[in-house]
């Protein structure tokens, strides 16, 4: 069974801090996704990656296939980064994603 | 950009009503999905469809049915709404090759309250 675990569940940071959110999964993947959901908002896809590292602005996602682990980093965090961050992988399925329960990030000014 | 549009942002229905949640995508994606999102439980798959008129049960299909008569539209049906179906409902679409899922795109969600 494909399981996806995220840590931490909750994270509070001061503006400007470097943030890391971790994701571990149990079944080998074809791709891992990082998603963002602002309070009361819809879900936006941030990254899809199957190896190495991807960067978009202040966001960086890395993945280690051998260790079945991915991290999402936010540099120079800002209050507008406050959201729930969710990782998900396909666990070998062509269709379905399995989701972690999410990490609630709060960035205080 | 791919757009996945859900017909309602907020919906309030009475117990026992038949409820239709509509989802439309504009990028010719083969796959469409319905999820519900609940605090502490995360996103759970209700049903998905990989082609017109094709559907498969997800992890929590009980109390729901779906319809996909056209490629761009995927409807979730609550045959007789109950209070435990109060939730945020998210639609998504994607396309897939033999070994990879691409372009996973979510709608903005419908917050359904059953009273």
pLDDT at B10: 93
pLDDT at B105: 84
Name the residue among B31, B99, B107 with its Cβ closest to that of A42.
B107
Which chain A residues touch B42 with a CB distance below 8 Å? 86, 99-102
Residue A31 · residue B101 · CB < 8 Å: yes
Kindly give, in sequence order, each residue whose CB lies less than 8 Å from that of residue A27, ignoring residues fewer than 6 positions away: A1, A2, A3, A89, A91, A92
Which chain A residues touch B48 with a CB distance below 8 Å? 95-96
Check CB contact under 8 Å for A94 and B99: yes
The strand order across the sheet containing B19-25 reads B4-6, B19-25, B73-78, B64-70
Give the residue from A92, A103, A105, A95 showing the smallest Cα distance to A25. Answer: A92
Read off the pLDDT of each residue in B55-62 and give the average, rounded to a whole number. 93
Q: Report residue A24's pLDDT band, with 50, 70 and 90 as the boundaries.
A: very high
Name which of A97, A100, A103 to mutate to probe chain B: the one with the most chain B Cβ atoms within 10 A of its Cβ.
A97
Min Cα distance A62 → chain B (Å) is: 18
pLDDT tens digits for A13-22?
999 999 999 9
Name which of B3, B38, B43 to mutate to probe chain A: the one with the most chain A Cβ atoms within 10 A of its Cβ.
B43
Q: Report residue B98's pLDDT band, with 50, 70 and 90 as the boundaries.
A: low
DSSP string, B48-70: EEEETTEEEE-S--TTEEEEEEE
pLDDT at B56: 92
């Amino acid at each position: 069974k494909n399981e996806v675990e995220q840590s931490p569940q909750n994270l509070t940071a001061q503006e400007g801090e470097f943030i890391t959110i971790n994701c571990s999964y149990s079944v080998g993947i074809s791709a891992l996704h990082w998603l963002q959901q602002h309070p009361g908002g819809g879900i936006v896809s941030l990254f899809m990656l199957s190896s190495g590292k991807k960067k978009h602005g202040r966001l960086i996602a890395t993945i280690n296939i051998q260790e079945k682990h991915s991290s999402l980093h936010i540099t120079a965090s800002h209050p507008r980064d406050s959201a729930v961050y969710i990782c998900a992988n396909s666990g070998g399925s062509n269709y379905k994603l399995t989701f972690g329960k999410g990490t609630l990030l709060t960035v205080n000014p | 950009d791919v757009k996945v549009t859900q017909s309602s942002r907020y919906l309030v229905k009475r117990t026992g009503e038949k409820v239709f949640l509509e989802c439309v995508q504009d990028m010719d994606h083969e796959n469409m999905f319905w999820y519900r999102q609940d605090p502490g439980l995360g996103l759970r798959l209700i049903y998905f469809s990989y082609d017109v008129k094709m559907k498969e049960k997800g992890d929590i299909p009980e109390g729901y049915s779906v319809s996909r008569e056209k490629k761009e539209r995927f409807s979730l049906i609550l045959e007789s709404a109950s209070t435990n179906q109060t939730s945020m409902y998210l639609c998504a679409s994607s396309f897939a090759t033999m070994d990879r899922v691409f372009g996973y795109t979510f709608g903005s969600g419908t917050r359904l309250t059953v009273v």
